[in-house]
Amino acid sequence: MSFGLSQQRSSVAFDMTTGAEVSFDVENASCILDIHSNISMNMAEFGLPEFLTHGNFSKWVSLDANEGVAVTGLTSCGAVFIANKDFSRVAAGHMSGDARFVKDWCNKLSNSNSNVQPHFILWGTGPTGSRKTGGKVLMEYMRYFGISPSRAPAVASCGAIFLVRSQRGVAYASNTIAIPFKRRGQAVREFKMPTQEESAVRDYFNLETFNSQSLPDQLMLIQAIARLVNHENIPLAFDEESQKKLISLHGKVVTKAYLELVPVLLKSRFLQFEIFKLYPDWKH
């Protein structure tokens, strides 16, 4: 089951077990954890800092009745929630840049508490992201946890999404980047500026979004690298011949410059990008 938001449809609330839309007073629900950013933030005891290169991801969060976990501030980013059968345990992630499968996070959840059995997935994508890969990535999470499509509802074009424990579990999504719930504990917004190394790693993972064999993606990759290395602006191109010319003209220069900036641990991974298969001399 899936829902889509727009200017005409600003929010939706639905029963996680049936997919039926419900009336829900979100202002009277309490948010225990608000993962409001995909850059470094203090998630207190709920945080898993080892996954910061992929966004912000939580441990299992214990919920009482009418308490929930939220992922807000979505634009191109994605939100993923894993919940047990009675919604007393929820873990969530704010995926950086676009939808992405973070297998190590899934492993961490699976190994951290054998008494928690994942039963539901809630999926949300921002208004400008996950157009090409969101569905495929959601299926990877479903396969990993053995969850069927009927237990993995999705909301497209949302700015914020909130999963609340109730008799059956309620999901509430809005096209705004915040939700007017009651805040408790770590739901208070608290930012930490990323270090230079964290920023460099995050820049790299954003580039992986454009790693494909398609010419438009390869041109967007070169344009994105050009911005990171302060290269001249590379214009848009919509026909295949123009795209090839721009890639050939600027590609070697910007990739060479970026090879001096890419984090050392990720350099070999960057050199495996599809574009280097077409232009192997760019590696040198």
DSSP of 29-65, one letter per residue?
A: SEEEEEE--SS-B--GGGB-GGGGGGEEEB--EE--T
pLDDT given at position 117: 94
End-to-end CA distance of the chain: 49
Between residues 200 and 13, the one the model is more confident about? 13
- Rounded CA separation 155/122 (Å): 8
**Statement: the pTM of the whole predicted model exceeds 0.75:** no
Say yes or no to pLDDT of 207 above 80: yes
Structural tokens at position 273: 């990008």
Q: Which residue is it, tokens 């992405």?
A: 100
Say yes or no to pLDDT of 280 above 70: yes
DSSP-derived pairing of the beta strands 61-62 and 89-95? antiparallel
Between residues 118 and 127, the one the model is more confident about? 118
DSSP 201-233: HHHHHHHGGG-SSSHHHHHHHHHHHHHHTTPPP
pLDDT given at position 51: 82
User: What value does the CA radius of gyration of the chain take, rounded to a whole number of Å?
Assistant: 20
pLDDT given at position 1: 79
Between residues 164 and 204, the one the model is more confident about? 164
Amino acid at 254: V
- Contact between residue 216 and residue 62 where contact means Cβ atoms under 8 Å apart: no
User: CA 216, 220, 224: angle at the middle one, nearest 5?
Assistant: 175
- Contact between residue 236 and residue 266 where contact means Cβ atoms under 8 Å apart: no
pLDDT given at position 70: 95
pLDDT given at position 92: 96
pLDDT band at 279 (very low <50, low <70, confident <90, very high): very high
pLDDT given at position 186: 64
Average pLDDT for residues 98-103, to the nearest whole number? 87
Which residues lie closer than 8 Å to 113 by C-beta, 6 or more apart?
60, 89
Say yes or no to pLDDT of 120 above 90: yes
